[in-house]
Structure 1
């Protein structure tokens, strides 16, 4: 008998939240990378990170390559290319540009709106929790993002650079929204491919995209860096590939199969929280009052969302069990 878990549709919200928090903690580190190697361009950062990611994925995927080739169709490879572009290559170039021009706080603010975008799209799925039910969670999310945004944009050092950073962050938000929705739906459909295998395939395709971008980087960016700068760049690229791309993506993909799509977007708030925390440590300062308020509002947003889905899951279980109880 085929169970719900075998079809990939069983939900386990507590475990999903833990996986989402883990992914957020690891992904939050990518906001620091552009600051750690500021001399390098966003395109060079993306290529360095994803060439390493692709190389690691290629080594890990070799033992199961034959099996995966038989499991995937042409449409799956097209989906992998699209998801790799929107969720990795394009997204990280835009995010790096935003961090280097607008700062970590501003970038985190805009990416923090992702739950709203994904939840609105996910609410159209069959059986999804309604937008009206999710309204308190969305309001907390919007209020928290507004607090961070006001703090970043109204700061004395805000300038034309901040506006450029804001535009890049909005574009990154749109790119990652497309990835979050598409990736979740692909994982629900592809029951013969594990989340780890899907992560490695994504790394392989992203690595290929990085190779294609190498000539562009050579034409657009100078390479006159010191040995120390190159060593630091290599260390950051390797860390981002292993910690964020391999481990972070694995946790995110696991989470995507454990929670509904409308809740998937809420989990990205963990990335916002950790990115801000890492930013405060990097800047060696305590959060300001509005930033503390934003932390609390974002946490409330996640908790209310989890509560809504728990209640909805319990309600559906009671409805499903009602016929059996009546027969008993």
Structure 2
């Protein structure tokens, strides 16, 4: 029991580290969102490059198509994802962005259900409806509060960007899980994480000069410059790389039913942390929308846990099928589960 509690605490620590990704875009102003993204993932990519260099012999044995695929999903699932998150958070609210992205377990479940029937479609109706209601409340929060039309339009565009981030992350998780499940020889998790990091880092390194050139001049004054560098180091090395290491180690000792809820805490932390940075309290429509989204995720996880126990024949995941579920949960969180 003590070991499980320590692993849960470690997983929560990783989720908290990742949650700062929703806070950073507003915290680094006047630096541009693109500078934050490229700075963060350039450092993350260098960590991946170091891992790939150390494992270059194993990398040489990996088929080229798998190497390219790892780089590709790293670019889409990390770089494109965080571009959407950053612009969404600064256009409207890190709180709303975190809540919208937090509904990704449902899109992952729907997409995954097409490829591998895990639960009845009927069981997905209630979670999907709850989340749609919640997202609708979040989308029209400015109109409900009586704000001007321009502010409402910005909020709606920010919601679209957040939905883009949610769909991008869902695509990454599903494709990563599907591909590795169909491969006869699975890549080493550390080496695979290095490839994904390089996929995000490669694009960032290419765009970093443009991001610097398009950043407001006041960003390069001493304090703003120190702030953006500190955030890039924190997000790229501590949150992304070290946070992933903590999660992978902790997940090995966490019961399967707890994996989903622990991953979901990332966006809950992100929503809570965003409010002090934005110096405000959430509106009633934001709170109501967030509660609907959380309720949808909760209902989905209830059915998922119930179905997992049914598949395991009541063995609590300790039998042969339990190994399959452990593998599924690891893949579903995308081995490198950084955001």
- Unaligned stretches of 5+ in structure 2? 316-339
Maintained 8 Å contact 2:95/2:275: no
Q: What is the deviation of 1:236?
A: 0.2
- 8 Å contact from structure 1 (residues 118, 265) kept in 2: no
Give 1:207's aligned residue.
201
Aligned residue in 2 for 1:120: 110
Is residue 44 of structure 1 aligned with residue 39 of structure 2? no
Moved more, 178-187 or 80-89: 178-187
Alpha-carbon shift at residue 218 of structure 1 (Å): 4.8
TM, length-normalised to structure 2: 0.75
CA displacement, residues 295-318 of structure 1 (integer Å, 9 cap, x when unaligned)? 544443333333322322232233
Q: Write out per-residue CA displacement over residues 218-273 of structure 1, whole angstroms, 9 at most, x where no aligned residue.
A: 554455520221111110001111233214445677869x999xx99887643332
Inter-partner Cα distance in structure 2 for 1:173 and 1:18: 26
- For residues 290 and 148 of structure 1, the distance between their equivalents in structure 2, rounded to whole angstroms, comes to 7
Q: Which residue is equivalent to 1:302?
A: 297
Provide Cα deviations, 1:46-65, integer angstroms capped at 9, x if missing partner: 11101111122333444333
Mapped partners of 1:25, 1:269: distance in 2: 11
What is the root-mean-square deviation of aligned Cα atoms in Å? 3.8
Match of 2:24 in 1: 33
**1:81 and 1:205 in contact (8 A); partners too:** yes
Judged with a 3 Å threshold, the aligned counterparts in structure 2 of structure 1 residues 105 and 310 are, in CA distance, closer, same or farther, namely closer
> For the residues of structure 1 that align with 2:86 and 2:104, how far apart are their CA atoms?
17
Matches within 5 A, 1:1-328: 24-70=15-61, 72-152=62-142, 154-155=144-145, 156=147, 158-189=151-182, 192-223=186-217, 225-250=220-245, 269-318=264-313
Contact 2:81–2:165 under 8 Å retained in 1: yes
Contact kept, 8 Å, 1:61 with 1:200, in 2: the verdict is: yes
Instruction: Tell whether the 8 Å contact from 1:195 to 1:250 is kept in structure 2 after alignment.
Output: no
SS in 2 for 1:123: helix
Contact 1:199 1:246 in 2 (8 A): no
* Unpaired segments ≥5 residues, structure 1: 1-13, 321-328
CA distance in 2, matches of 1:54, 1:76: 18
Count the aligned residue pairs: 307
Q: Would you say the 8 A contact 1:109–1:149 is kept in 2?
A: no
